[in-house]
Chain A
Amino acid sequence: MMDLVKFMRMEMNDQVDNKEIYISGAPACPGIVIGNTSLYQRVRPHISDTQIADDEVEDHIHKFYEALDIAEEELRALSDNTDLKASTDLIQMQIAILKDPELHDRVEQEISANNKPVDSAVESIFRNYLQVIRRNHRDEFQNKSVDISDIRDRLLQIIHDKRDDIEEGTILVARELSPREIISFSNRDIKGLITDRGGATSHAAIIARSMNIPTVVGAKKATEVINSGDEVVLDGRNGEVVVYPKNETRKKYESLIAQQSKKKADFESLCQKPNKTSDGTPFTLQANIEFAEELSIANKYQAEGVGLLRTESIYLSSKDFQNIDHQVAFYASILELTAPHQVTIRLFDVGGDKFFGDEEKEQNPFLGWRGIRMLLEQPKLLKNQLRAIYKTSGDFIGRIRILVPMISTINEIRKLKNIIGEVKKELLSEGVDIDKEIPLGLMVEVPSVALKADLFARHADFLSIGTNDLTQYTLAVDRGNERISNLYDQRHPAIWQLINGVAEAGKRNEAPVSVCGELASDPISACCLMGLGIDTLSMNAVVLPSVKQLLRENSYADMQQLAGKVLQAETLDDINNIFSNWETK
């Protein structure tokens, strides 16, 4: 029947010749897919309002316990599938609800004493609980009541033996998806995900990435425009969705997919090969990450540790991150998953706008109170983070490095070192095991630091060049301003000159230099960085294979020659010419 309907719709599509529609959202997991869609809705089955006969009571009670068993089994399967702390907590709470003895008694009572059918009994008992919980709790608990209604809905679906309308092998379109829902798709062969709501850094998006399902989120009207069974193209690289693609559009994407799948196969064998240039010079590729889930891709692509662990969103998204033990658990989980490599933890890097309201808004936040400037004036926040890092270090001696954002004066380093000294002393006097030799590194993102790199290198154990902000500050271009975004290019000759200065200063002062900005994820720029003597690059793990490929295909001697030419270049056009000549050589 369903197939017939689909067939008829396809016929109609051909006749009416639907116009191609482009929808754009935020790219959440790269990859291109073409396929038919399933519209995913959270099903709330119709609840029966009849009464059951006395001899049906037994049967309905039995159905209730059966549904509890099935739901619990599903949740246990999910929890085996995730290392995610937050998901495990959620799953444990939902399992505890299924095992709640009082819930069992009440539902049984409702069925046997009031002759209610099982679905209506479950519905009304949960309604009672939710009413009391919502009345007694402050607003923030509302989130949890969503998890309670989620498990109720699942029970009702099981009782009605209702499967969601997901067809295997389709692209799912939904208003929004909970992390639990996405994890539950893992064995359903879902080709892609499109949601109306959500951002690329939402928890759901991160889980989609860790499962490697091409995903576009925040595609506002996707559920209104797309019908079940429509053909769509989903491009998870740039967040584009094409509904009713024209023949030529489909062909274009089909050839892209063919290219990509060939690349992907090549990547997997490539990643097993050693990190060496064609003439045998070794290099190190690391991952920039923010969440433990991102390590599944990083590990698949054989990243050698984490060159940049961002700590902002965990701080901002989770109130209980103020709790040192939770921070320790987070750092430890990253270190466990990256053994035996190093993890570079960047101290909390946000602006004051995250703490204060609009009235304190700065005119130029990027030139304002942020990074280390803010941390030194928020000693509690800074000390908490340092305590957590040092507490973690005892179990992972020699594997942690600390990276300081937005350094612009030597005085800031002195102050920070004093505070680190205090924290170490406190922990040692409390008898806590710590790594006493954690290297302290500086982000090179302010041009004055790059220009005085010798001075800063003497005060640091290592330097990490953040090309994103360095470019923005050097070229005086706000990268978020669309009118001037054409002026923003990390390959600018001035940036290469600064990077070269930092690389040389690092060598003179025995401070290793690495790059963690976007420039490192551009394969040819990566070769040029290598040519300047920077052999450690950190990037979004997704691009790691393409960088590795180009580095392996070329010789270190050629890269040095390339770097020499780039340093002679006068304009951005010169650089682009040098690069395209080098690539086609």
Chain B
Amino acid sequence: MIKKKVTIVNDAGLHARPAAALVKLASKFESDFYIHLYGYKVNGKSILGVMTLAAEKGAELELELDGPDEEEATEAITELIDDGFGEVYEDGDE
């Protein structure tokens, strides 16, 4: 089993579109996937579960993965979250 902490970086947080992307990615792996936040634990392959978290920008999630492909899964999921689900806002000022 792997446990890993990641921080939500995109401005809008874990809203509907990112939640759908996260669940879609996680479902490709065989390993069980849970997310811990503020004392809640939800199934990371459940979009309704993920949406109940209401994780905003800056929220620190703990990922828990358990299964034969847990390492690849952890890596892929961490990358998606770190990349802000492809939604990181650019600063056009400078």
Contacts and interface: CB of A to CB of B under 8 A. Distances in A.
Contacts of A102: 43, 45-46, 48-49
A92 interface: yes
A137 B54 contact: yes
Contact of B17 (A93, A322, A324, A387): A93
A384 B94 CA distance: 10
Contacts of A144: 15-16, 51
B35 interface: no
Interface residues of A, number: 31
A interface secondary structure, majority: helix
Contacts of A136: 52-54
B12 interface: yes
A136 B51 CA distance: 9
B23 interface: yes
A100 B89 contact: no
Contact of A97 (B15, B24, B48, B93): B48
Interface in A106-150: 129, 132-133, 136-138, 141, 144, 147-148
A101 interface: yes
A376 interface: no
B67 to A, nearest CB: 14
Say which size band chain B's interface belongs to.
Answer: 20 to 34
Contacts of B15: 141, 144
Given A320-B87, A383-B93, A384-B92, A103 B48 contact: yes
A99 B49 CA distance: 12
A323 B46 contact: no
B61 interface: no
A148 B48 contact: yes
Interface of B: 12, 15-17, 19-20, 23-24, 27, 43, 45-49, 51-54, 86-87, 89-93
22 contacts: A92-B20, A93-B17, A93-B47, A96-B23, A96-B24, A100-B46, A102-B43, A102-B46, A102-B49, A129-B48, A136-B53, A136-B54, A137-B54, A138-B54, A144-B51, A147-B16, A148-B51, A320-B12, A380-B92, A380-B93, A383-B92, A387-B92
